[in-house]
Amino acid sequence: MDPEQVDEFVMGYLKKKGFNSAAKHLQESLHNNNGSSFSSIDYPNDPELTKLIRSFSQSENDPSRYREGYSKLRSWGYNSLDLYKHELLRVMYPVFIHCYMDLVGKGHTQEARSFFNSFRKDHEMVHLRDLQKLGGVLAPSHLQEMEFARSLRQSKINIKICQYSYDLLIQYLHRTESTLMLGIINEHINFQVYSGQPNSASDDIEAVTIVGSFHEIADHVNQKEIHWGLLEDSLEDRLEKTGGLLSDSEKGQGESKAGDDSKKRSAEIGKQGSSTKKLKKDKAGAATTKVARQETSTVLSSMPRVKPELAMPVMSTDVEESILEDLRNRVQLSSVAMPSVSFYTFVNTHNGLNSSSISHDGSLVAGGFSDSSIKVWDMARIGQAGSCALQDENNQTVGVNGRRNYTLLVGHSGPVYSATFSPPGDYVLSSSADTTIRLWSTKLNANLVCYKGHNHTVWDAQFSPFGHYFASCSHDRTARIWSMDRMQPLRMMAGHLSDVDCVQWHPNCNYIATGSSDKTVRLWDVQTGECVRIFIGHRSMVLSLAMSPDGRYMASGDEDGTIMMWDLSTARCITPLMGHNSCVWTLSYSGEGSLLASGSADCTVKLWDVSSSTKLTKAEEKNGNSNRLRSIRTFPTKSTPVHALRFSRRNLLFAAGAVSKHSS
Amino acid sequence: MSIVPKETIEVIAQSIGITNLSPEAALMLAPDVEYRVREIMQEAIKCMRHSKRTTLTASDVDGALNLRNLEPIYGFGSGGPIRFRKAIGHRDLFYTDDREVDFKDVIEAPLPKAPLDTEIVCHWLAIEGVQPAIPENAPLEVIRAPAENQIYQQKDGPLIDIRLPVKHVLSKELQLYFQKIAELTMSKSNPSLFKEALVSLASDSGLHPLVPYFTNFIADEVSRGLNDFLLLFNLMHVVRSLLQNPHIHIEPYLHQLMPSVVTCLVSRKLGNRFADNHWDLRDFTANLVALICKRFGNTYVTLQSRLTKTLVNALLDPKKALTQHYGAIQGLAALGHNVVRLLVLSNLEPYLSLLEPELDAEKQKNQMKSYEAWRVYGALLRAAGLCIHDRLKIFPNLPSPSPSLLNKGKGKVINTEPNKRKLSVDSSENRSPRKRLIATDGSDGGPSPMQVDRPTGDANPPQNSVHPSSSEQASGGNAPESRNAKENQGSKGRTITRKAILDQIWKDDLDSGRLLVKLHQLYGDRILPFIPSTEMSLFL
């Protein structure tokens, strides 16, 4: 390298960087010394240095360098050894999006767009939705504005990579002097190098899907302890202990006593731990009855038991009795004993039905409509009307034409996005685009309370398994816990990076799970309001959630039709259940947790055998036997997307949906 | 850059009254517009999902605007999805159909019916895991591939509809069209309209569903109407139009169509009356057959071989009528020179010997028969002549006459035919008027009574030396009945030179030479007009 050339490069660099005075001085000194200013350094013999100088002197803003660098890296990656290829290709996606965002950030919109379009095909299969979002980013200001892009820019992506792959990559980058790519990789990727052979390509779901900032956080969060066991002294327990002898007089007395207690304490029901004493007493009373079902109790009693962190509402005796009665009559379901499915079809909805739900006994059906109304049908009465009509024709005409056969609840001022029943079916909770949640009484057919607190559309609201408390989630990216007697929320769960689309209670009421448009599911501790688990793996918006009755597993369904089974304690996906090809609107576990039902926009109800997951031994779990969960039955409807599913306590499956005439 | 072109921004700016928007500003705005649109759509999709729908509606977009604290766009909230129409002349420009409604009409119109109220219908989707066969449930065979026995079982269930073999539904318009065409074909009263119909048949797309009906119709009518000459001709025209139509896929129906067509070619009797020019029909059908073979010969390898077999059988059977022979010869001739050379010429000699007695006016008293024989003879001569013409044409060093001349000659055939018939029927008395007639045509070429008289005349103007001889020959050969005597007289002097020429050719090309010699032996000078003039002149 000529000394003159070096001088030129240095001059160019200085000028470009704005060191005008330095450049001037250099020029002067060059004139004085006649071109030997750097004689002190042995630069001709130092190739690294010349390279460095050369690279600096190249115009740094040249947008074509990104394309060049990336396409080189890409072709290198695709030509690398098969064994390490998938690991190396994992690096491509982050490099790709950061190259794009760099280009956008520097204002080369045109180049950014052409760069994006020429390489997006590579990543579309896995990251389609992210790419769709990023495709709209065209100006530097958009990078600042868009949450997703910002989080990508600010965070590092973790990539697990084996030692050899890592060495290969670094070697390549150094050898080819692609400082630009090296810079991007250094800046945005955090390699977790491990020794040994690379992982097989199939189990890299996490590595593929995680692009956000929270891998580390998630790892950290998921270390936290959770108690997924059922509540002490649940009704199931009581059933086992009492066996068939419900008419036991002693128990009846205990129950009524508890009722008295509850009346006394109803004023202070929001406070914690108020009912523990009562529960203990109950337990003592129940323990005196000696009859127990040996077979079932062995399974259930092995489960850990936890104490409720919230003050639990007290059930009235007759409600409890009816529940116990239902439990006693529950049909045992398994992969060979299928449930019956009763389908409620909404007709003439004129595209206005946003949501529907079914009460626990299937007697009430509620629909939330886009015209702000809620309609509640009493299916038992409809059945009666039918039978009456047989006797009296006049009666029938009145019933069908003269009067509506549903209860119209008007109060919201925006589309109603959810309407759900309290466990005993005496209340309806509705959430709407008018940012409010309303509580309605099905007995009085009137609005009782309007809960205001969310700042945006409330997408979903769900009662806790024991009533009284409810959770809501909203476009404002929070989920909130409420109790029926307070106007203000009790807890606020913030942390999702996008809309919180669905919410579900854990059976022991100590946790809620939320699914979000940021493609994650989170588990929150109700008492502390902390996030205790982050479930990463979905590739699109999470639309539905269900908790297994034993509290150990969770199922979540997304926009693409994938259902994921999660182990709550490890925050790992047991297996994705593939089969639906459109949005999974609803999920429901059967009473004893052996079957999972899913309803989808592809007009089918599918039943999945998930009983094996609960009996999975530790050894099997380690073997990674993932084919144990399977679809056992598909029930197609004529042309009705399935909006809601509910297993009754007796294990009858109710389904609801609105006929869509235009489905082809 | 942005998918929103800056022109769009400019148009929007103008529409809201900003006239002085600089191009730079538009260029800067375009990416932002795109980003905002995408943002709105992202929110709209969320709203759609929460409304448990998979179709985006205008209300979803309004909901998205609401989420962003923007005013909704009014005027689109129709409930259902909006129907878009394509702007004519643009590939991806759409607009909503927004008709102007007369206020008076709206007021005067009766009140629309109230929409039906929402109701819930309850049914069993499954009973203990089995879907009952009730109308509310989806029919099972839609989901499962219908195995044979399954369908059988399901027949018990009263409410499952089993799909019959695909039923062909013919639209009302097509039915009318078919009726009209069939009527026209049968009626024969309106030739101009029928011509129009043929044009329509040959060019209209969308007629394909009618093809089976047409083939059926043709087969029926041909078998029924063999006595009705015009009908047959009309039917053959229909066939040709169908074949010409590029939108019709006629192949599967060829096997139904071919028997009718071949019938019209080689049937013993076509038409009832004496005046019916069934020769024309046979000629026409021969061309049709050739067309079919040319088009579908590749896909149906056996098509041509089967056809030629039929035709050769018809030709070689002495019991068949002469009309049948004529049809067979024409059919074979239309199939090409190779076919003629292989199948006709090889059988030419014995056949001509059979034909000889029929040709002789003295022996064959029945004029009708005699005429038929002469037609056959003419057809044979033409076939052989064309064949030899083609053979000779392939001499590499000789410029060939353009084939159009030949065609022109063929075209004339039809024109002269009535004359010819008259001539032949009326025997030799009419010779002189005919001669005059041809002379007034301005042609000094030899008016050979056979088909290819023109080429000689038109192709030979420079060939003055031949003229006398050819006219001489023509005048000699004009009267077929007295062929031998007159011809021999007329061309006696030339025979030797011609022999020499033939020998020359024979030396050049043994095969075609032999053929030519043979033909010359059989036909005498009549074959000479078929020999390309340039070659002839060379030898002379």
Domain assignments of chain A as residue spans, ordered by start: 58-197, 342-382+404-617+626-658
Give the burial class of B351: count Cβ atoms within 10 A of its Cβ; 0-12 exposed, 13-18 middle, 19 or more buried: buried
3-state secondary structure B388-438: HHHHHHCCCCCCCCCHHHHHHHHHHHHHHHHHHHHHHHHHHHHHHHHHHHH
Highest mean pLDDT among A538-542, B82-86, B138-142: A538-542
H/E stretch holding A115 reads: helix A109-135
Per-residue confidence at A438, pLDDT binned at 50, 70, 90?
A: very high
H/E stretch holding B94 reads: strand B94-96
Which CATH number applies to A58-197?
Answer: 1.25.40.500
**Nearest by CB: B31 against A109, A406, A456:** A109
B502 or B341, which is more confident: B341
Whether residues B195 and B50 share a domain: the answer is no
3-state secondary structure A398-428: HHHHHCCCEEEEECCCCCEEEEEECCCCCEE
Per-residue confidence at A366, pLDDT binned at 50, 70, 90?
A: very high
The torsion angles phi and psi of A314, rounded to 5 degrees, stand at -100, 135
A309 or A502, which is more confident: A502
Cβ atoms A588, A564 nearer than 8 A: no
Interval B170-224: pLDDT, tens: 778 888 888 888 888 887 777 888 888 888 888 887 787 788 888 888 888 888 8
Task: Tell me whether residues B2 and A138 touch, CB distance under 8 A.
Answer: yes
Q: Which residues pair with A432 in a beta bridge?
A: A416
DSSP B137: B
Among the ranges given (A346-360, A423-437, A599-613, B466-480), the one the predictor scored with the smallest mean pLDDT: B466-480
CA–CA dist A281, A259 (Å, integer):
12
| % of chain B at pLDDT higher than 90 | 2
Determine, yes or no, domain membership for B67. Answer: yes
Task: Tell me whether residues B46 and A350 touch, CB distance under 8 A.
Answer: no
H/E stretch holding A238 reads: helix A235-242
Determine, yes or no, domain membership for B465. Answer: no
Q: How many angstroms separate the CA of residue B11 from the nearest CA in chain A? A: 21
Which residues on A lie below 8 Å from B49 (Cβ)? 501, 541, 543, 559, 583
Helix then strand count (H, E) for chain B reads 25, 3
Residue A625 has pLDDT above 50, yes or no: no
Task: Tell me whether residues B59 and A370 touch, CB distance under 8 A.
Answer: yes
Give how far Cα B396 sits from Cα of A327, B392, B456, Å.
Answer: 103, 9, 22
Whether residues B92 and B203 share a domain: the answer is no
Find the mean pLDDT for residues B347-372.
72
Determine, yes or no, domain membership for B310. Answer: yes
Determine, yes or no, domain membership for B180. Answer: no
The torsion angles phi and psi of A503, rounded to 5 degrees, stand at -140, 150
Chain B residue closest in CA terms to A516: B46
Domain count for chain B, please give it. Answer: 2
CA–CA dist A585, B308 (Å, integer):
69
A79 interfacial to chain B (CB closer than 8 Å): no
A664 interfacial to chain B (CB closer than 8 Å): no
CA–CA dist A220, B102 (Å, integer):
68
A137 interfacial to chain B (CB closer than 8 Å): yes
Handedness of CA B39, B45, B47, B49 (dihedral sign): negative
Angle between helices B23-50 and B6-15 (to 10 degrees): 90
Q: How many angstroms separate the CA of residue B232 from the nearest CA in chain A? A: 49
Task: Name the one residue in this structure whose structure tokens are 């022979």.
Answer: B325
In a 13 Å sphere around the CA of A118, the CA atoms on its Cβ side amount to 15
DSSP helix/strand/coil, A606: strand
User: The CATH number of the domain where B244 resides is what?
Assistant: 1.25.40.770
Cβ atoms B269, B322 nearer than 8 A: no
CA–CA dist A437, A435 (Å, integer):
7
Count residue pairs from A and B with Cβ separation < 8 A. Answer: 165
Find the mean pLDDT for residues B504-523.
63
Find the mean pLDDT for residues A523-539.
89
Q: Which residues pair with A589 in a beta bridge?
A: A596
Determine, yes or no, domain membership for B158. Answer: no
Q: Residue B101: give the domain boundaries.
A: 4-75+82-106
Handedness of CA B191, B196, B199, B200 (dihedral sign): negative
B119 interfacial to chain A (CB closer than 8 Å): yes
Find the mean pLDDT for residues A577-586.
91
The answer to whether A58-197 and A342-382+404-617+626-658 have equal CATH topology is: no
CA–CA dist B381, B366 (Å, integer):
22
Residues 446-505 of A with CB under 8 A from B: 456-457, 459, 475, 499, 501
H/E stretch holding A633 reads: strand A630-636
Q: What is the ipTM of this complex?
A: 0.71
Give the burial class of B339: count Cβ atoms within 10 A of its Cβ; 0-12 exposed, 13-18 middle, 19 or more buried: buried
DSSP helix/strand/coil, A393: helix
CA–CA dist B381, A325 (Å, integer):
107
Cβ atoms B447, B435 nearer than 8 A: yes
- Closest residue by Cα to residue A364 from A429, A412, A415: A429
Task: Name the one residue in this structure whose structure tokens are 């018809």.
Answer: B314
A135 interfacial to chain B (CB closer than 8 Å): yes
Determine, yes or no, domain membership for B335. Answer: yes
Question: What pLDDT score does B510 carry?
Answer: 61
CA–CA dist A232, A508 (Å, integer):
9
Whether residues B222 and B361 share a domain: the answer is yes
Contacts of B475 (CB under 8 A, 6+ apart): B435, B446, B490
CA–CA dist B337, B346 (Å, integer):
13
Task: Tell me whether residues B35 and A139 touch, CB distance under 8 A.
Answer: yes
Determine, yes or no, domain membership for B87. Answer: yes
CA gyration radius, chain B: 38
Cβ atoms A569, A550 nearer than 8 A: no
CA–CA dist B407, B418 (Å, integer):
19
Handedness of CA A323, A328, A329, A332 (dihedral sign): positive
Contacts of A387 (CB under 8 A, 6+ apart): none
Whether residues B197 and B333 share a domain: the answer is yes
Handedness of CA A406, A410, A412, A413 (dihedral sign): positive
Among the ranges given (A238-247, A436-445, B379-388), the one the predictor scored with the smallest mean pLDDT: A238-247
Angle between helices A235-242 and A276-288 (to 10 degrees): 20
For all residues of chain B together, what is the average pLDDT?
70
Sheet of strand A572-577, all strands in order from the earlier edge strand to the far edge: A542-547, A553-558, A563-567, A572-577
DSSP string, A539-571: SS-EEEEEE-TTSSEEEEEETTS-EEEEETTTT
Residues 142-171 of A with CB under 8 A from B: 142
Last residue of a domain, one of B56, B90, B106: B106
A601 interfacial to chain B (CB closer than 8 Å): yes
DSSP helix/strand/coil, B141: helix
CA–CA dist B64, B67 (Å, integer):
5
B128 interfacial to chain A (CB closer than 8 Å): yes
CA–CA dist A630, A625 (Å, integer):
12
Determine, yes or no, domain membership for B264. Answer: yes
Whether residues B58 and B204 share a domain: the answer is no
As given in the structure block, the two tokens for residue A269 are 């029901």
DSSP helix/strand/coil, A160: strand
Top residue of A100, A132, A351, A659 to mutate, by most chain B CBs within 10 Å, is A351
Among the ranges given (A632-641, B105-114, B258-267, B473-482), the one the predictor scored with the smallest mean pLDDT: B473-482
Q: How many angstroms separate the CA of residue B140 from the nearest CA in chain A? A: 9
Whether residues B99 and B204 share a domain: the answer is no
Question: What pLDDT score does A16 carry?
Answer: 67
A338 interfacial to chain B (CB closer than 8 Å): yes
Residue B277 has pLDDT above 90, yes or no: no
Last residue of a domain, one of B391, B409, B432: B391
Top residue of B48, B120, B136 to mutate, by most chain A CBs within 10 Å, is B120
CA gyration radius, chain A: 31
Interval B294-316: pLDDT, tens: 888 777 777 888 888 888 888 77
User: The CATH number of the domain where B68 resides is what?
Assistant: 1.10.20.10
CA–CA dist B346, B324 (Å, integer):
19
pTM metric for this prediction: 0.55
Question: What pLDDT score does A453 carry?
Answer: 93
Give how far Cα A161 sits from Cα of A165, A176, A198, A204, A211, Å.
Answer: 6, 21, 7, 11, 16
Residues 213-272 of B with CB under 8 A from A: none
Cβ atoms A420, A357 nearer than 8 A: yes
At CA A474, angle to CA A470 and CA A480, rounded to 5? 35
Task: Tell me whether residues B119 and A346 touch, CB distance under 8 A.
Answer: yes
B114 interfacial to chain A (CB closer than 8 Å): no
Last residue of a domain, one of B373, B391, B409: B391
As given in the structure block, the two tokens for residue A155 are 């965070």
Q: How many angstroms separate the CA of residue B31 from the nearest CA in chain A? A: 6
Per-residue confidence at A165, pLDDT binned at 50, 70, 90?
A: confident
Question: What pLDDT score does A409 carry?
Answer: 94
Quickly name the fold that domain A342-382+404-617+626-658 has.
Methylamine Dehydrogenase; Chain H (2.130.10)
Whether residues B348 and B245 share a domain: the answer is yes
As given in the structure block, the two tokens for residue A426 are 């005496």
Give the burial class of A203: count Cβ atoms within 10 A of its Cβ; 0-12 exposed, 13-18 middle, 19 or more buried: exposed
Chain A residue closest in CA terms to B38: A136
Cβ atoms A316, A259 nearer than 8 A: yes
H/E stretch holding A83 reads: helix A82-105
Which residues on B lie below 8 Å from A475 (Cβ)? 46, 67
Residue A271 has pLDDT above 50, yes or no: no
At CA A522, angle to CA A188 and CA B50, rounded to 5? 100
In a 13 Å sphere around the CA of A77, the CA atoms on its Cβ side amount to 21
How many CB atoms are closer than 10 A to CB B38?
19
Q: How many angstroms separate the CA of residue A89 from the nearest CA in chain B? A: 28
Per-residue confidence at B363, pLDDT binned at 50, 70, 90?
A: low
CA–CA dist B251, B140 (Å, integer):
37
Q: Which residues pair with A553 in a beta bridge?
A: A567
B125 interfacial to chain A (CB closer than 8 Å): yes
